[in-house]
Structure 1
Amino acid sequence: MSQGIILILDIGRNVSVVDEKEEKSFFQSARECAARIIERKILSQGKNLIGIILVGSKTTDNNLAKQFDGAFKRIQVLDMVTPTWQMIRQLPEKPTETKGDWFDALMVAADYYKNVLSGVKLESKQIILLTNFKKKTSFDPENIDEVLNGFIDEGYEVNVIGPDIESEEYEKNESVQLVKQFIDSTGGATSTIDSIMKYDLLFHRKKLVKGMPWNVDLSIGPNIKIPVSAYIRTRDEPAVKNWVKSVKDSITGKSSKNESVTKTKEYINEETGQAVDAANKITGHHYGQQIIPLGDIDKGLMYQSGVKSLSVYGFTSADNIQWQNLNGDGLSYVFGRKGDKKAQKVIRCLVECLHELNLVCIVRKVYNTNNLPKLNVLMPVIDTNNYVCLSMIGLCYKEEIKQMSFPTTNLKKHKCSEEQVNAFKDLINAMDLTNAYDDTFDDNEAFPVAECVSPSVQYVLDCIAYRALNPDKPLPKPREEIMTLFKVPPLLEENARKPLEKLKTLFTLTKVEQKKRQNKNLLLDNDQLQNPNLQTDAPITPNIPKVHMPTKEEVVDEIKSISTINPIEDFKALQSQNKDLSELTTGMIKAIESLIHNNIDGKYNKALDAMKHLRMESIKFDPTDYNNWIKKLKTDLVECGKTEVLNQIIENQVSFILKAENNLSSYDNEHSHEESQLFENDTIPNSTELTISSDVLNMFDD
């Protein structure tokens, strides 16, 4: 079921003034807050519907204004839809010169929920009001009880984001006293813009999802089966689970979700090189260098893990389970099945026994029928305030554990004095994360386990939001709030200064230089063996196998095609073998195109030199193949956007072969110049956008 949120944003003249204490006007801060709320709802990927009501708008567009002439003016309603980036772009950039009534906007929001959106079932109906209450409402407070009862009956929740309405400045403000009644009656809350931007909207939060249980029977021996339910407590997840693919138009620069790249999958026989029908495919397994086919009879003999199960192998001491023995992608909590009081009582008894005896359960877990079985450990969890359950996490198999041997430290030379041990204790106490901040902060603990966010995930989501709103700008660096997650809190850094200085005096560190190992198996000649004192300037060659290097004549004989490494030398070598010029031209063209299209460093000297050589050879014979290729190459370069290569071709004079150079050519100086001008004018990519209608461009924007 979806959650409904209506943002009432005041854009009137009363929010346009910049206070002396603030750097921004209330309108600028409120707009940033509204954009941040919409952004967080988009990236949370939850089922949300968001509507926007503009107070103080130049136009009047709402349902109540149509029913009552002259009332509910200067209030514009933007329909409630799933939040999009376009919704943020549509927020007004500047305030207006008119004023609107925030109380009338509350009535318009309530009417929108009741009458306009009546057919949609919503889990919650929130109304968030962003105004500074400088405009006094015209509502008569004597009728407030009737309005409040209507809000309570419909289940509306009114929240206020704006100034600090609890301060002495707003004690005598009638509008503030009126909105407080809505907050108290509907169970809403109030907060300042600075506070909600600093704490609630500072980081991206995961959407709240109702936990789905994994129901199974916990089997202990052949006769005991306890109905249990496992809920995921923590799990490693990517920043974005599902990406919506779109194709970007290289000409317009817009992306479309309706177009895609078609991919086909074919099975090719390596021996014949022909495609094979998927129905004739036979599965197999690698056994060394051979592939063993797997027939239908063999499939029946394969190992089957069985049905979904959670079976106890036995019990072992909790000391045998170290952190390096654990794996998996998360942690689950196991409870007795909901509604089964006997199962809950048995699980509680099992947890208390394991805790008292310092034991854990080793279990075999099969998530679903014929899935891969996994080893897990069940450990007791006793929270006196909340719950008693078992925590379940994966265990490593023997081949997954890597043993690393370290030198022993139980030696006299490694023994520390009592003063050195106390110095480390002082450092640990000084860097206690539970007391990382002073009384000016709400919480003294730094990096709490249940609340600390992932810096990489935050930066990925920030980049997605920035790219959506700024498609042509480079991605920004991580913001300061993310970088603080990598820094030691200032108070801890100050407290640790003296203990660190003391440790430096107690421990003298000397740099250890590692000696280079020399190869003892050196190849010595007979003269060195007879006269060991003889010194030679030649380096000693280690004992390595000899490799036969081909001579220059052998390399020439091995050349069968023109490569991109030495295209000119390959061309000459093949030409000396009396190869046909048309065949050589085709190979040279392939090498040049490969050098141009697969270029990385932006240097095309090798390709241009090869073109010069090919042009000089083509002048001696029929230049038709060369001219046709140059014409096609220019078209391809313009379509690919490689105009710099086109300019270099013209500058290096490796374009068309003219009649003045070869009588067989159909190109002269004037014809070549005119065609070049016409060619360039007709293929400017930006001119294509002029032929696209505005409706098509709007579709790409959406």
Structure 2
Amino acid sequence: MAPRVCDGAIIILDIGKNVSQKEEKDEKSFFIEAREFVSRLIERKILSQGKNLVGLLLLGSKKTHNRMAEECDDAFRHLDMILELQEPTWEMIRNLPETPSKSRGDWIEALIVAADHFKNGISGIKFTSKKIILVTNFMSATCLDGSDIEQVMNGFKEDDFELDVIGPDLSDNSLKGEDIEMAKKFIETTNGATASFKDAMRYLLFHKKKVVNSMPWNVDLSIGPNIKIPVSSYIRLKDEPAVNKWMKAVKDPVTLTSSTTEAIIKNKIHMNTENQTVVNHDAVISGYHYGQQIIPFTECDKSLLYNSGEKCLSLYGFTHSSNISWQNLRGDGLSYVFGRKGDKKAQHTIRCLVECLHEMNLVGLVRRVYNKGCAPKMYALMPVIDNDNYICLSMAEVCYSDEIKYMTFPSTNLKRFECSDEEVNAFKDLIGAMDLTKAYDDTFDDTEAFPIAETVSPAVQYVLDCIAFRAMNPGKPLPKPRDDIMMLFKVPPLVEKRSREPLEKLKNMFSLVKIQKKRKQEVKHTVTEDKTAQNDEKPNGHVLEDKIPLIKLPVANPTLVTKIGTNTPVDDFKTLVDNGKTLTDLSIGMTDAIENLVYCNLDGTYSKALTTMKFFRAECVKADPTPYNDWIIKFKKTLNERKIEDVIALICSNQLDLILKEENNLSTYDNLNSCESQLYENDTVPDGTELTIDQEINDLFDEM
């Protein structure tokens, strides 16, 4: 089995008596600054999601826990290996000591214990880098002599260890002492680094994402029917979230602990809304909404789908670079196309193609299918020439014509929009004053503000800050963005200072008047109004243009009822009766409304449908019971077929069944029993004939 490859780092944190004192009253002690640095370092390694293993060794601890102390008596004391090399977790930060101890430890012995743990304390891992981070103030001198220290230093060099010292900046020549000089030799021998807490925390100011080697997308660039160039496409830019993968956990409300091995079981079922029954998955036919209709899409229809074919990168042709502007590009990223690795002919061919496109000022248009079954997309291939690094093609997605939004703007080529030379120069002065490449003075390392490809995203930084805060403070509300993030939204002080005078100059040149948008007021005109105002004058003397004469158009009456709906069926019935409609004319619309109220019901209550049936039955009792009786027989049969038995029970319990002779002499039904027998004879006998035959007779016919 191949060993696991990752980076390793052991942090040696000095918690002895020598780090508990404050140098000045208002300043923090060395222990507090060291603890904050270690917490921030582990937090960054967690959020970077890289292949990192972290260990923690306490220097100057009361306890002694390390492998070297078990082998050597009276040596390697007060060194506690509380965390062996493992993936960084939030529990590491929680387990950091809160207060320093009253013991002292030897920092050289701590280096030996850390190196021994790299060599003998862990197996099955191949370290690409072995880093030891020493956080101490060297106020506790080492007990080893020069020959032993020289031997340790040579061992560090042979095993490729790297020592970084954080706390005292050893590059400062003002620091003196034997331990300081030995630490400098260690750093020089191991090609390590040193930094003060201020510089180290500035380096850890923002989170860094995990460095991932880009995976190539290998394909053949087809030019015509005969030319195929093996190429590899690498993602250069891509819009990605702050955290790509989340580990889901379920919180126990009793113990208030989260578990990643438990989950909430979810079952997906298909329901028939008409009879509230569960439908098997095999009986479901997928479909698509087209307006208000659902178009079924069966397995047979899949054969008619468009097939994009195998993955490809086919060149359609070339066009002038001026035809491809930034408005025509879309997508969420940019890719670079190189000749296939190891294929010198392909690399040379791509280089020639790039140089030709650059010389002729052309851009290629290609059809790209990422994989079999994926939708085809059009891309633009543009030459990229960086003599110091690479020569390749950049590939960005191109919009289709349906995706482009065309907008019209008023013409500005008018005399009233012309600017004088003085006004143009004033704008040039403002642009020069707001130059971000000269945003800081000589006290800063770089005078440019917000450099491209170096400025971090404030949104991503705040999301990662919230994740770290929630991990350490699960019960507290999320904090506001810290000042370091809010600084990314502020104008640099030097730019703001330079731009004050040009801004005041522009304000004096251009007098701006704030326009308040007035709300539209509806003006009601009477029928007799037929006046047009002409040559109305405003108080400032301007003359208004002639108003357009009013045109009287027929206005639709919103309260006009033409049919019975499901919103207010009883009121619609009464309105149509007042307009001269008869019961025979309205019976079909009334019954349709009742059926829609029953079939389209989702909450299981049929109060509106029953009220409408009660009203319609009462009207038929007064006039003619035939429409209601004919409809209720068919309606009950349909309810029985659809297995909506609760509605049948409601009809019987609310006495909404057939209208009998005792209620109206025009009815043909004396009682409900005669109705049921007639219904059985007319509708169920043909379907139920086979049920009356004995099973032995059916078996006899089967044998014949």
Question: What TM-score range do you get, normalising by the shorter chain?
Answer: 0.7 to 0.9
The ranges of structure 1 where at least 4 consecutive aligned residues each deviate by more than 4 angstroms after the TM superposition are: 513-520, 542-545, 548-551
Tell me the distance in 1 between the aligned counterparts of 2:23 and 2:326: 56
Which residue is equivalent to 2:526? 524
Which residue is equivalent to 2:235? 232
2:66 maps to 1:65: no
Q: Deviations over 1:212-255 (max 9, x none)?
A: 11111111111111111111111111111111222223333332
Which residue is equivalent to 2:358? 355
Query: Displacement of 1:515 after TM fit?
Result: 5.9
SS in 2 for 1:282: coil
Match of 2:98 among 93, 100, 120: 93
Query: Displacement of 1:295 after TM fit?
Result: 3.5
Query: Displacement of 1:259 after TM fit?
Result: 2.5
- Mapping of 1:332-481 within 5 angstroms? 332-481=335-484
Q: Could you say if the C-alpha distance between residues 404 and 98 of structure 1 is closer, same or farther in structure 2, counting changes exceeding 3 Å? A: same
Specify the code of the residue in structure 1 equivalent to 2:96: L
Which residue is equivalent to 2:151? 146
Which residue is equivalent to 2:537? none
Which residue is equivalent to 1:14? 18
Q: Could you say if the C-alpha distance between residues 24 and 544 of structure 1 is closer, same or farther in structure 2, counting changes exceeding 3 Å? A: farther
Q: Could you say if the C-alpha distance between residues 147 and 488 of structure 1 is closer, same or farther in structure 2, counting changes exceeding 3 Å? A: same
Which residue is equivalent to 1:319? 322
Specify the code of the residue in structure 1 equivalent to 2:37: C
Query: Displacement of 1:339 after TM fit?
Result: 1.0
- Mapping of 1:652-671 within 5 angstroms? none
Specify the code of the residue in structure 2 equivalent to 1:546: P
Tell me the distance in 2 between the aligned counterparts of 1:273 and 1:195: 68
Query: Displacement of 1:393 after TM fit?
Result: 1.1
Query: Displacement of 1:297 after TM fit?
Result: 3.6
Q: Deviations over 1:161-191 (max 9, x none)?
A: 1111122332x32112212222222222111
Q: Deviations over 1:569-623 (max 9, x none)?
A: x9xxx9xx9xxxxxxxxxxxxxxxxxxxxxxxxxxxxxxxxxxxxxxxxxxxxxx
Q: Could you say if the C-alpha distance between residues 176 and 523 of structure 1 is closer, same or farther in structure 2, counting changes exceeding 3 Å? A: same
Match of 1:179 among 171, 183, 192: 183
2:549 maps to 1:546: no
Which residue is equivalent to 2:272? 269
2:262 maps to 1:283: no
- Mapping of 1:218-257 within 5 angstroms? 218-257=221-260
Which residue is equivalent to 1:298? 301
Does the 8 Å contact 2:59/2:80 carry over to 1? yes
Tell me the distance in 2 between the aligned counterparts of 1:226 and 1:14: 67
Tell me the distance in 2 between the aligned counterparts of 1:467 and 1:416: 55
- How does the TM-score come out when normalised to structure 2? 0.74
Query: Displacement of 1:372 after TM fit?
Result: 1.1
Query: Displacement of 1:480 after TM fit?
Result: 0.1
Specify the code of the residue in structure 2 equivalent to 1:233: R
Specify the code of the residue in structure 2 equivalent to 1:358: N
SS in 2 for 1:80: strand
- Mapping of 1:598-613 within 5 angstroms? none
Specify the code of the residue in structure 2 equivalent to 1:149: N
Does the 8 Å contact 1:158/1:183 carry over to 2? yes
Q: Deviations over 1:122-177 (max 9, x none)?
A: 2221111111111111122223443233222322211111111122332x321122
Tell me the distance in 2 between the aligned counterparts of 1:232 and 1:184: 38
SS in 2 for 1:96: coil
Which residue is equivalent to 1:309? 312
Tell me the distance in 2 between the aligned counterparts of 1:457 and 1:166: 34
2:172 maps to 1:167: yes
Which residue is equivalent to 2:111? 106
Tell me the distance in 1 between the aligned counterparts of 2:146 and 2:353: 61
Q: Deviations over 1:509-529 (max 9, x none)?
A: 223455655657x46357x78
Q: Deviations over 1:449-498 (max 9, x none)?
A: 11111111111110111111111222111000000011110110001001
SS in 1 for 2:309: coil
Match of 1:136 among 137, 141, 157: 141
Query: Displacement of 1:103 after TM fit?
Result: 0.8
Tell me the distance in 2 between the aligned counterparts of 1:240 and 1:32: 24
Specify the code of the residue in structure 2 equivalent to 1:479: R
Match of 2:48 among 44, 54, 59: 44
Tell me the distance in 2 between the aligned counterparts of 1:384 and 1:181: 40
Query: Displacement of 1:283 after TM fit?
Result: 3.0
Q: Could you say if the C-alpha distance between residues 546 and 287 of structure 1 is closer, same or farther in structure 2, counting changes exceeding 3 Å? A: closer
Tell me the distance in 2 between the aligned counterparts of 1:430 and 1:403: 35
SS in 2 for 1:504: helix
Tell me the distance in 2 between the aligned counterparts of 1:247 and 1:139: 53
Which residue is equivalent to 2:688? none
Query: Displacement of 1:306 after TM fit?
Result: 0.9
Query: Displacement of 1:548 after TM fit?
Result: 7.5
Q: Could you say if the C-alpha distance between residues 425 and 346 of structure 1 is closer, same or farther in structure 2, counting changes exceeding 3 Å? A: same
Which residue is equivalent to 1:213? 216
Tell me the distance in 2 between the aligned counterparts of 1:543 and 1:159: 85
Tell me the distance in 2 between the aligned counterparts of 1:2 and 1:280: 51
CA RMSD of aligned residues (A): 3.0
Tell me the distance in 2 between the aligned counterparts of 1:316 and 1:66: 75
Tell me the distance in 2 between the aligned counterparts of 1:184 and 1:529: 98
Q: Which moved more, 1:184-193 or 1:68-77?
A: 184-193
Q: Deviations over 1:99-139 (max 9, x none)?
A: 11111110000000111113322222111111111111112
Specify the code of the residue in structure 2 equivalent to 1:123: T
Query: Displacement of 1:374 after TM fit?
Result: 0.9
Does the 8 Å contact 2:171/2:194 carry over to 1? no
- Structure 2 runs not aligned, ≥5 long: 534-553, 562-566, 575-592, 598-606, 615-704
Q: Which moved more, 1:272-281 or 1:238-247?
A: 272-281
SS in 1 for 2:192: coil
SS in 2 for 1:196: helix
- Mapping of 1:22-41 within 5 angstroms? 23-41=27-45
Specify the code of the residue in structure 1 equivalent to 2:102: E
Which residue is equivalent to 1:653? none
Does the 8 Å contact 1:375/1:394 carry over to 2? yes
Tell me the distance in 1 between the aligned counterparts of 2:571 and 2:412: 62
Query: Displacement of 1:312 after TM fit?
Result: 1.1
SS in 2 for 1:407: coil
Q: Which moved more, 1:54-63 or 1:272-281?
A: 272-281
- Structure 1 runs not aligned, ≥5 long: 533-541, 561-569, 578-702
SS in 1 for 2:356: helix
Does the 8 Å contact 1:141/1:178 carry over to 2? no
SS in 2 for 1:168: coil
Which residue is equivalent to 1:539? none
2:8 maps to 1:4: yes
Q: Could you say if the C-alpha distance between residues 548 and 28 of structure 1 is closer, same or farther in structure 2, counting changes exceeding 3 Å? A: farther
Does the 8 Å contact 1:523/1:543 carry over to 2? no
Q: Deviations over 1:342-384 (max 9, x none)?
A: 1111111111111122111111111111211111111111112
Q: Could you say if the C-alpha distance between residues 419 and 60 of structure 1 is closer, same or farther in structure 2, counting changes exceeding 3 Å? A: same
Tell me the distance in 1 between the aligned counterparts of 2:49 and 2:94: 19
